[in-house]
A and B are shown apart, each in its own frame.
Chain A
Amino acid sequence: MQLNPSEISDLIKKKIENFDVNVEAHTEGTVVSVTDGIVRVHGLSEAMQGEMLEFPGNSYGMALNLERDSVGVVMLGAYQHISEGDTVKCTGKILEVPVGEALLGRVVDGLGNAIDGKGAIEATETSPVEKIAPGVIARQSVDQPVQLGLKSIDSMIPVGRGQRELIIGDRQTGKTAIAIDAIINQKGTGVKCIYVAIGQKRSSIANVVRKLEEHDALAHTIIVVASASESAALQFIAPYTGCSMGEFFRDKGEDALIIYDDLTKQAWAYRQMSLLLRRPPGREAYPGDVFYIHSRLLERASRINAAEVEKLTDGKVKGKTGSLTALPIIETQGGDVSAFVPTNVISITDGQIFLESDLFNSGIRPAVNAGLSVSRVGGAAQTKIIKKLGGGIRLDLAQYRELAAFAQFASDLDESTRKQIERGQRVTELMKQDQYSPMSVAEMGVSLHAANAGFLDDLEVSKVRDFEAALQSYMKSEEADLMQKINDTGDYSDEIKKGIQAAIETFIKTSSW
């Protein structure tokens, strides 16, 4: 057994010396029944909604149903050792989890305990898992981008800091892949990431952790895990835990990005708890407040203004706004977005990235359906260069979709229609991007400029990606200054425009692909 740093006898001696003996008065109750993780407790007349209750054997439960003669409690973790007649104590506290910088690079469970074998977490602060979202006065509108590093998303469905953008799609359409790319792309930007895995296989979580480690992205990431084998209560609570950890960064004037993967499973866990607590079932057997569990969670993702940050940090941080961006993930069944939970979350969020299995299977990855995906606030946050160039891309694709269906029947098309279809095919090809290779603003700008200025029109469709790869490596080696400038300013001035144009022309003359 390893010796814990806090187990040195001097420290223990001091702790015993300073131990403050006080006669505690608390409220007690007795366990009446234990069924499937739900414990009914008689007594506890002073228990609060959501309060932590202490059970024998150092285990805890959360009071959820307060009734006249009993309290319905959900056990957090194992409940096999609880039996009828056990005493239950009120703690007078709402569930709290550790928060802070110490959690970065760590993998924790739904209660904030380390599960990555790197020792206990030395967090100095704790925070309640359930908090009220910032008020109207504290907020600031979204006007800075979060670059996800994916051409198709950053150009057409931009996400701003403090926005809630839903990633929705069937199983196996690359939802998690987008989230992981987004985390990798935050490396070096100061944006802290939190990845909350709910109801997933432990093996897939291990995979995510390994991939993040490989791409050097674990250092700015907290991973909160409530795997499929953990109790429904922990799966239900994990997103709120992650949110509190993200709010810590938001409230001290930093930016954070949180991914809930996925909220469908959280709703399932909540449905299980509610049915076992005998709350009346509603549509699809979900309880009446399934909308509220998601709306109160996503409302906490927000951008707060400098005055609020100053207030929250007691004046230590001045002139900085804080943000928590949320990317909730929802899994649909057979592309049905009109099911209960998907419609709820679509209506709560500020837009959605819609992924389709047909696109995915035909090789368009990320499989973003550009027609159904929207971002309701991100436009205001886009960098100038991406905004200018992205508009053209969006239009090209929209026109292409309209014509493509109809072009299948007509054999001879007029010149302009044919051109539009060809442009659309090339742009669709250009929007493909490999996993784990997010792009910088400058790289994206160059690719988009090439499409907008018509450089792709003379290429064969199958050559587009080779052309892009060669162009990117050319720009990287020959035009590093220009790229640096674009990345720094994000501008699309005439000078930059001419610079890119000239560089691509030289590249075409001198290189092969």
Chain B
Amino acid sequence: MSELSTLARPYAEAVFKRALESNSAAEWSEMLAFLSVVIQDQEMSVTIANPKVSQQQLTELLLDICQDQLKEEGVNLVKLLVQNDRIILTPQISELYESYKAEHEGYVDVDVMSAYALSKEEQKKFASKLEKKLDKKVHITTSVDKSLIGGFLAKAGDTVIDGSIKGQLQQLAKKL
């Protein structure tokens, strides 16, 4: 996984710079997300790994699947990736691209897990608190995880803010 992100980095950087130049960051975001889904499909990954499928065939197949989803530059990226035998990196490229985009636009994606579903108002409150704490704009995605017992667990990239009962119990267990 770590090696894959190292390989994907130059592609992601190039795509991101191109997107800024052509003012099409959102478009690229969609294209990459769509491509990742396609590449991660089980049958697709078997096809990619199959040595009998030539690069030509693979390119045609991918372009056929994507059809209108890809703009001209997207098509070029697919051709380039297939040619370099790096099409498998697409999910990592997409991930890195998103992180560059987030950094550029000054926001962070935060996954918030809570034991009970949060209401809209609570989510807003939460977002404003997190914005203060992380000093950045926050895009929140919420999910429910009963195993937390109570409280919440927020993940922003590597950083984890653990305010759950489960985490506190673990702390207590360590102290005893």
Distance to closest chain A CB from B145 (angstroms) = 14
Give the nearest-CB partner of A44 in chain B: B158
Contacts A24-B161, A30-B1, A70-B2 aside, 11 further interface pairs with beta carbons under 8 A come to A12-B176, A16-B176, A19-B171, A24-B167, A24-B171, A27-B158, A28-B160, A42-B1, A42-B5, A43-B158, A69-B3
A23 touches B5 (CB 8 A): no
Give the nearest-CB partner of B151 in chain A: A23
Contact with B along A20-57 (1 / 0, CB 8 A): 01011111111010000000101111100000000000
List chain B residues, Cβ under 8 A from A26. Answer: 159-160, 162
List chain A residues, Cβ under 8 A from B106. Answer: none
Residues A40 and B161 in contact in the complex (CB < 8 Å), given A12-B176, A24-B167, A24-B171: no
List chain A residues, Cβ under 8 A from B2. Answer: 32, 40, 42, 67, 69-70
List chain B residues, Cβ under 8 A from A24. Answer: 161-162, 167, 171
Q: How many Å lie between the Cα of A40 and that of B1 in the bound state?
A: 10
B161 touches A27 (CB 8 A): no
Could you jot down 7 A-B contacts, CB within 8 Å?
A: A25-B160, A25-B161, A25-B162, A26-B160, A43-B158, A69-B2, A70-B2
Report which A residues bind B (CB closer than 8 A).
12, 15-16, 19, 21, 23-30, 32, 40, 42-46, 67-70, 89
Distance to closest chain B CB from A132 (angstroms) = 29
A25, A27, A45, A67, most chain B CB atoms within 10 A: A25
Residue B104 interfacial (CB < 8 Å): no
Q: How many Å lie between the Cα of A21 and that of B169 in the bound state?
A: 10
Q: How many Å lie between the Cα of A70 and that of B6 in the bound state?
A: 9
Distance to closest chain A CB from B175 (angstroms) = 6
Residues A32 and B160 in contact in the complex (CB < 8 Å), given A15-B175, A19-B172, A69-B6: no
Nearest 10 pairs of A and B residues by beta carbon: A70-B2, A69-B2, A23-B163, A27-B158, A69-B5, A25-B161, A45-B158, A43-B158, A28-B160, A42-B2
Contact with A along B1-13 (1 / 0, CB 8 A): 1110110000000
A27 touches B159 (CB 8 A): yes
List chain A residues, Cβ under 8 A from B162. Answer: 23-26
A45 touches B172 (CB 8 A): no
Residue B168 interfacial (CB < 8 Å): yes
Distance to closest chain B CB from A358 (angstroms) = 54
Q: How many Å lie between the Cα of A27 and that of B168 in the bound state?
A: 16
List chain B residues, Cβ under 8 A from A19. Answer: 171-172, 175
List chain B residues, Cβ under 8 A from A28. Answer: 155, 158-160
B160 touches A21 (CB 8 A): no
Q: How many Å lie between the Cα of A28 and that of B175 in the bound state?
A: 21
Distance to closest chain B CB from A87 (angstroms) = 9
B interface residue count range (under 10 / 10 to 19 / 20 to 34 / 35 or more): 10 to 19
Q: How many Å lie between the Cα of A69 and that of B89 in the bound state?
A: 15
Q: How many Å lie between the Cα of A89 and that of B167 in the bound state?
A: 12
List chain B residues, Cβ under 8 A from A43. Answer: 157-158
Give the nearest-CB partner of A11 in chain B: B176
List chain A residues, Cβ under 8 A from B168. Answer: 21
Distance to closest chain B CB from A126 (angstroms) = 15
Q: How many Å lie between the Cα of A443 and that of B2 in the bound state?
A: 67
- Beta-carbon contacts under 8 Å, B1-31 to A: 1-3, 5-6
Q: How many Å lie between the Cα of A70 and that of B167 in the bound state?
A: 25
Q: How many Å lie between the Cα of A44 and that of B168 in the bound state?
A: 21
List chain B residues, Cβ under 8 A from A70. Answer: 2-3
List chain A residues, Cβ under 8 A from B167. Answer: 24
The listed residue (B158, B161, B171) touching A46 by CB distance below 8 A is: B158
List chain B residues, Cβ under 8 A from A23. Answer: 161-163
Give the nearest-CB partner of B157 in chain A: A45
- Beta-carbon contacts under 8 Å, B141-176 to A: 155, 157-163, 167-168, 171-172, 175-176
List chain B residues, Cβ under 8 A from A25. Answer: 159-162
Give the nearest-CB partner of A25 in chain B: B161
List chain B residues, Cβ under 8 A from A15. Answer: 175-176
B160 touches A68 (CB 8 A): no
Distance to closest chain A CB from B168 (angstroms) = 6
Distance to closest chain B CB from A33 (angstroms) = 9
Q: How many Å lie between the Cα of A40 and that of B5 in the bound state?
A: 14
Q: How many Å lie between the Cα of A89 and that of B159 in the bound state?
A: 10
Give the nearest-CB partner of A26 in chain B: B160
Give the nearest-CB partner of B154 in chain A: A25
Distance to closest chain B CB from A90 (angstroms) = 9
Q: How many Å lie between the Cα of A26 and that of B1 in the bound state?
A: 22
Q: How many Å lie between the Cα of A68 and that of B168 in the bound state?
A: 32
Q: How many Å lie between the Cα of A16 and that of B169 in the bound state?
A: 10
List chain A residues, Cβ under 8 A from B171. Answer: 19, 24
List chain B residues, Cβ under 8 A from A67. Answer: 2
Distance to closest chain A CB from B131 (angstroms) = 15
Distance to closest chain B CB from A486 (angstroms) = 56
List chain A residues, Cβ under 8 A from B157. Answer: 43, 45
Q: How many Å lie between the Cα of A335 and that of B6 in the bound state?
A: 48
Q: How many Å lie between the Cα of A67 and that of B163 in the bound state?
A: 30
List chain B residues, Cβ under 8 A from A42. Answer: 1-2, 5
B172 touches A16 (CB 8 A): yes
